[in-house]
Structure 1
Amino acid sequence: MALDTGMKMIKTEKVTVENAAKTLGSGSLLVYGTPAMLLLVEKTAVALLDGHLDEGMTTVGTNLNVDHVSASPIGCEVSCEVTLTEIDRKKLTFVVEVKDPAGVIGKGTHERFIVDAEKFQNKANGKFDK
């Protein structure tokens, strides 16, 4: 595993009708939806970790604590920056900042756990096999 605190990743996306609050059902307006922002946070963290985990390992999101502090209209671009700030055995903590051209629209933290992909999937698949 080749992870170090301070690692960063940025991903961007355009605000569209498809990721708007009204379309996603999280509100009634055509502005960037909170579910879309949270998905961008997770995608960015996953992208940061890509290629840095041992063979057969992956991560699962376990906590999102992100405030959505400003609305972004259809057509603008949003960018998400995640920074790996803590490695506690298998728990990874990221500081998150999401911006549009006018400034910060989201900020907070995200946690992911490193798991063995096959074991995790098998456990989930067998959850109701009793």
Structure 2
Amino acid sequence: MQEQPESPLAPGLTGRVELTVTDADTALALGSGDVPVLGTPRVVALAEAATVAAVAPGMPAGSTSVGVRVELEHRTATPVGRTVSAHAELVKVDGRRLVFEVTVRDGNAVAAQGRVERALVDRQRFVERAARA
């Protein structure tokens, strides 16, 4: 029996991205509220960017990953001008399904925390199917 090569996408991979909050990142600008603090949609995008960064170096040729599920608790308000960082760790690989634990920090405070799931797909086939939909 031929042994399967180990996937380069294995639990333990991590990614980190930072964002200095601008007016364009606020709940007011994004339409998710009427206050000038980091909006939850931008927090979700930041968390997803960290998951993409975690797997980018080992992504198989012709493949990409797409977000399929986000569970995030946005805990604190972050004002314009402050820098937040998102950290993602790949905690489970189940076939094409990738599960990440994510934490967004505002300094030492946890601003948001949760899970993001992504699916591995063939990039070209995915784009072609989306165009036909």
**What TM-score do you get using the length of structure 2 for normalisation?**
0.92
Counterpart of 2:3 in structure 1 is none
User: Superposed, which structure 2 residues align to 1:3-42 within 5 Å?
Assistant: 3-42=9-48
Counterpart of 1:59 in structure 2 is 65
**What TM-score do you get using the length of structure 1 for normalisation?**
0.94
Counterpart of 1:68 in structure 2 is 74
Structure 2, unmatched stretches of 5+, are 1-6
Structure 1, unmatched stretches of 5+, are none
Distance 2:27 2:108 in 1: 19
Does residue 90 of structure 2 align to residue 78 of structure 1? no
Structure richer in helix, relative to its length = 2
Distance 1:11 1:82 in 2: 9
- Say which SS state the counterpart of residue 46 (structure 1) adopts: helix
Deviations 1:64-98 (A, max 9, x none): 10010111111111010000000000000000100
Matched pairs, number: 127
User: Superposed, which structure 2 residues align to 1:43-122 within 5 Å?
Assistant: 43-122=49-128
**What root-mean-square deviation, in Å, do the aligned CA atoms of Structure 1 and Structure 2 show?**
1.0
Deviation at 1:12, TM superposition (A): 0.6
**Maintained 8 Å contact 2:13/2:55:** no
- Say which SS state the counterpart of residue 51 (structure 1) adopts: helix
**Maintained 8 Å contact 2:15/2:55:** no
Moved over 6 A (4+): none
Residue type at the aligned position of 2:25: N
Deviations 1:15-43 (A, max 9, x none): 11110111111111110000111111111
